[in-house]
Amino acid sequence: MSIVLVGISHHKAPVELRERAALDSKHAGELARTLAGDNGEAVCLSTCNRTELYLADESADAAEEKAEAALLALESDLGPALYRLRGDAAALHLFRVAAGLDSMIPGEGEILGQVRAAHDGGATGPLLDRLFRQAMQAGRKARTQTAIGESPASVSSAAAALAEQVFGDLRDRSILVIGAGKTGELAIRNLVSRGASIAFVANRTGERAEELTERFGGEALPLARIEDELARADVVLSSTSAPGWVLTREQVERTLPARKGRPLFLIDLAVPRDLEPTIHELDGCYLYDIDDLEAVVAESLAGRRREAERAETIVAEEADRFRAWQASLEVVPAITSLRARAEQIRDAELRRAKLNDAERRAAESVTAAVLNKLLHLPTIRMKQAAAAADGVIYADAVRHLFGLEDER
């Protein structure tokens, strides 16, 4: 059985092409089962960045043709963007995908779940099942043994991660949102997903503020009341299109005594900026604007790329282990035949001997031990030879030496 991969990804295919080849999990599973047929194995991995078909078949050429035809049936213009990999290269590719090493953002966390979903929905047999399980293990190892997926990869997640640097757990932390436009929404989602809650939404128009509070909770406020409620907020998130300062240093300074030393984290996503920069100089106040957050993200992505080098080593080791396992499959039939032949001879000889029950039990035990000891080393050596790509030669030699050709 050979493993074949045919697919498209963000490396070669623009989003206009990828979106036409993207499949939801139900359709991906259906396609995999169709491609697998009765005896084959197939898995379809479809995400926003890639659609890949993994097939295990006796004929690699036939499998590749089948997979290519299936992808071209989804979108006929895919041809130039298609890539085709076989055997070890296909396995290594999946391991890198699962570890997030082939993603747009190195180490992104969603891909591991998507690989798992593809495996669960696919038509797997012994080969692809093992391949996908080991790929997921490689992905988990890369994430736990390196810091590839730890740092934030977007401005909104960086803002939330910085808030955690100040407060730790964001549960029970209140957010004052200034401006109810789309810009701040991602940051709100990130903060809320980490446990923070929206206390107030201040906006020029009450209607939009009400709309936001309906979705995320909190109370709508006019901009003029920001200062009144500032003392109760832990995080201020501002993203208005106002031309001047929406919140000044003096306003924040006046609320400090009421805060009783509680820190205040301010996120300014607006351009032009909403929050007076000198607020950052106040004791216990930490103000980050869009440039500061982008610098954090850039550094974090650079860190992920550095960690990716370490993750590549882990992934390569896992791919080697898979290759060794796959190679050992080549010699398994020869080993099984050899053991069966030996058992057959032992059984025949024991039948021929005239022994009482006690003697037979003793003879069975001794001969079984001799047989196991005798075959142990050849078994190990054949598996080692298989891992070193000489498995077929050794298997043929064993079949020839012991007359196992008929059992092939």
Partner 1 sequence: MAELLFWPALLAYSEAAVAYLNDARHPGTGGRLATWGVRIGWLVQTALLGVQAARADGFPWSTWAGSLNLFVWLVVGAYLIWGCQPRYRLLGLAVLPLAVALFLLARIGGGTGVGDRSHYPNVFLVLHVGLVLAAFAGFTLAAALSALYLWQERRLKRRESSILRLHAPALARLDAVAARTIAFALPALTLGIAVGVVRLREHGGGLDALMAVTIVTWTVYGAYLALRHLAGWRGRRSAYLVLAGFVLVAVVRLALPVTHFAT
DSSP H/E element including 340: helix 290-352
Nearer to partner 1 by C-beta: 64 or 292?
A: 292
- Minimum CB distance to partner 1, residue 286 (Å): 5
Please state whether 389 falls in left (phi above 0), alpha (psi between -120 and 50) or beta.
Answer: left
Q: Which of 108, 129, 164, 343 binds partner 1 (CB under 8 A)?
A: 164
**Binding to partner 1 (CB under 8 A): which residues in 244-273?**
259-263
Cβ neighbours, 10 Å, residue 286: 18
Nearer to partner 1 by C-beta: 207 or 283?
A: 283
* Secondary structure (DSSP) of 218-279: SEEEEGGGHHHHHTT-SEEEE----SS-SB-HHHHHHHHHHHTT--EEEEE--SS-SB-GGG
325 to 2, 172, 283, 316, 336: CA distances (angstroms): 13, 51, 60, 14, 16
- The contact pattern for partner 1, residues 277-306, with x = CB under 8 A and - = no contact, is ---x--xx-x-x---x--xx-xxx--x---
Catalytic residue status for 48: yes
Cβ neighbours, 10 Å, residue 388: 11
Nearer to partner 1 by C-beta: 186 or 282?
A: 282
* Candidate ranges 119-127, 160-168, 244-252, 368-376; the one touching partner 1 (CB under 8 A): 160-168
Please state whether 69 falls in left (phi above 0), alpha (psi between -120 and 50) or beta.
Answer: alpha
- The contact pattern for partner 1, residues 110-149, with x = CB under 8 A and - = no contact, is -----------------------------------xxx--
- Minimum CB distance to partner 1, residue 248 (Å): 19
- Minimum CB distance to partner 1, residue 176 (Å): 18
Q: Which of 122, 152, 179, 184 binds partner 1 (CB under 8 A)?
A: 152
**Nearest residue to 147 (alpha-carbon basis) of 296, 302, 316, 320:** 302
- Minimum CB distance to partner 1, residue 167 (Å): 5
166 scored as a contact of partner 1 (CB under 8 A): yes
* Candidate ranges 127-135, 165-173, 187-195, 211-219; the one touching partner 1 (CB under 8 A): 165-173
Residue 124, token pair as written in the block = 């797997």
Nearer to partner 1 by C-beta: 1 or 159?
A: 159
Nearer to partner 1 by C-beta: 158 or 385?
A: 158
DSSP H/E element including 374: helix 357-387
- Minimum CB distance to partner 1, residue 168 (Å): 3
DSSP state of 152: -
204 to 222, 232, 263: CA distances (angstroms): 6, 21, 27
Cβ density class 349-379: b for 16+ within 10 Å, e for less: eeeeeeeeeeeeeeeeeebeeeeeeeeeebb
* Candidate ranges 31-39, 72-80, 167-175, 328-336; the one touching partner 1 (CB under 8 A): 167-175
5: which residues sit within 8 A by CB, 6+ positions away?
Answer: 52, 53, 54, 55, 67, 83, 84, 85, 86, 90, 93, 94
Nearer to partner 1 by C-beta: 255 or 328?
A: 255
Q: Which of 158, 233, 235, 338 binds partner 1 (CB under 8 A)?
A: 158
Residue 398, token pair as written in the block = 């064993």
DSSP H/E element including 62: helix 60-74
Q: Where are the alpha helices (DSSP H) in 99-169?
A: 110-121, 126-145, 155-167
- Minimum CB distance to partner 1, residue 152 (Å): 7
Q: Which of 44, 70, 161, 404 binds partner 1 (CB under 8 A)?
A: 161
**Binding to partner 1 (CB under 8 A): which residues in 10-39?**
none
Nearer to partner 1 by C-beta: 69 or 295?
A: 295
- Minimum CB distance to partner 1, residue 287 (Å): 9
Nearer to partner 1 by C-beta: 80 or 168?
A: 168
- Minimum CB distance to partner 1, residue 111 (Å): 20
Q: Which of 19, 24, 37, 48 is catalytic?
A: 48
Q: What residues are annotated to the active site?
A: 48
Residues engaged in binding partner 1 (CB under 8 A): 145-147, 150-152, 158, 161-162, 164-169, 259-263, 280, 283-284, 286, 288, 292, 295-296, 298-300, 303
